Amino acid sequence: MSSPKPNDHLNIIQPYKGGKRSVPGVEKVYKLSANENPFGASNSAMKVFKESFKDLGFYPDSSNSDLVKALGDYYGLEGNRIICGCGSDEILHLLARIYLDKGDEAIVFENAFALYPLAIQSTGATVVRAKENNFKPEIDTILSNITDNTKAIFIANPNNPTGSILTIDEITELHSEIPTNILMVVDAAYAEYVRNQNYDVGFGLAKRNENIVVTRTFSKVYGLAGLRVGWAYCPKEIKDMLYRMKIPFSVNVAAQKTAIQALKDQDHINFSTKHNGLWLPKLSESLSHLGFVVLPSECNFILMQCPESLGFSASHIYELLSSKGLILRQMDEYGLPDFLRLTIGSEEANNLVLSLLEDLIS
């Protein structure tokens, strides 16, 4: 008996795996596997979320007009070039669907966020990985991979999982060198954490050009990962096409209202980034002294290699920490089995990680 068959190109796709959130038999867990804000949302945002129950019987505003206005006012951007989605993931998937097809190619960096290949492959297009230099992206490798079939470039800036960045000069140079018919997507999910003075998300580039999209999210520093709110700033023609394709009501009532309040509460953002600015270098230095190879990071996480000289494999360290309720991210999915990714957690969690590793390695 015959049955419905999926498109052949979908068979190569492996589902995205989120960071683990629990350990059997361990009651108190510190989830350091998904780059979430360890403090969660601000108190005022949580208050608005709790009050949103009064509107749950109504469909949300599909145009997200209040949220779009709040974003436009805060960042000084035109509202007719802003679109919101169910996380920036929805927008990234839609961009792939709209601009890619079978036979096309889309370029990502060698160590790119795992979602980009999924979005690209779902259209039947081919993923082309541009080599990095010691985990640092270089624009020349992207340019050397451009062919007549290249239709899009997806860049996380800062990059997940490496924590590296391209400066605004590098982003501008790259954009100036690519053909204008290639879509360039800059995913700036971790922008609030960056301290490099030569970094910029690229709103100015998107304002002046017709082939660049900048995506942002409320999932990281704003602490709203559970509500799934993302947005993009892009040329109006691209925004209009995204709006045609997006699922109606994809940003729910509570998500829209809570995101607006979260945007207003910049004291919480400043507190969160200050905590990250303290612990990122502290953890990086301590882990390096213990023998880990720690990559420079401009994000709220650290990617660290467990070299043979350490005497313990990444898998062993992961299991040890997990048994104590400290869940890191294994990197096998990224082809980096000897690496672990550590989200900057609370002071208590960070100290526990260091204490356990010091006991293990000393």
Q: Which of 13, 211, 182, 159 is nearest to 107 (CA)?
A: 182
Q: What is the pLDDT of residues 51-110, one digit of tens each?
A: 998 988 999 999 999 999 999 999 999 999 999 999 999 999 999 999 999 999 999 999
Cα–Cα dist 81/209, whole Å: 12
Backbone torsion region of residue 153, taken as left when φ is above 0, otherwise alpha when ψ lies between -120 and 50, otherwise beta? beta
pLDDT, tens digit, 9 for 90 and up, residues 217-263: 999 999 999 999 999 999 999 999 999 999 999 999 999 999 999 99
Local confidence band at 27 (pLDDT 50, 70, 90 cut-offs): confident
SS percent in the chain: helix, strand, coil, step 5: 45, 15, 40
φ, ψ of residue 146 in degrees (nearest 5): -75, 130
Contacts of 285 (CB under 8 A, 6+ apart): none
Per-residue pLDDT band at 189 (split at 50, 70, 90): very high
pLDDT score for 7: 79
Contact 116, 88 (CB under 8 A): no
| C-alpha–C-alpha distance, residues 259 and 149, integer Å | 39
- Mean predicted confidence (pLDDT) in 131-154: 96
Q: Coil, helix or strand for 335?
A: coil
Cβ atoms of 170 and 196 within 8 Å: the answer is no
Which residues make Cβ contacts (< 8 Å) with residue 229, sequence separation at least 6? 67, 84, 86, 87, 217, 218, 219, 251, 255, 256, 258, 259
* Confidence (pTM): 0.94
Distance CA 141, CA 129 (A): 9
- Closest to 264 (Cα-Cα) out of 53, 78, 71: 71
CA dihedral (65, 231, 280, 258) positive or negative: positive
**Can you give the residue ranges of every domain in the chain?**
14-41+267-361, 43-264
CATH 3.40.50.880 is the classification of domain 43-264: no
Helix (H) or strand (E) holding 71, with range, is helix 65-75
* Assigned CATH class of 14-41+267-361: alpha beta
Please give the single-letter amino acid code of residue 85: G
* Alpha carbons 123 and 21: distance in angstroms, whole number: 31
Q: Using CA atoms, how far apart are residues 339 and 313, in angstroms rounded to an integer?
A: 9
For tokens 């979260």, the residue is: 262
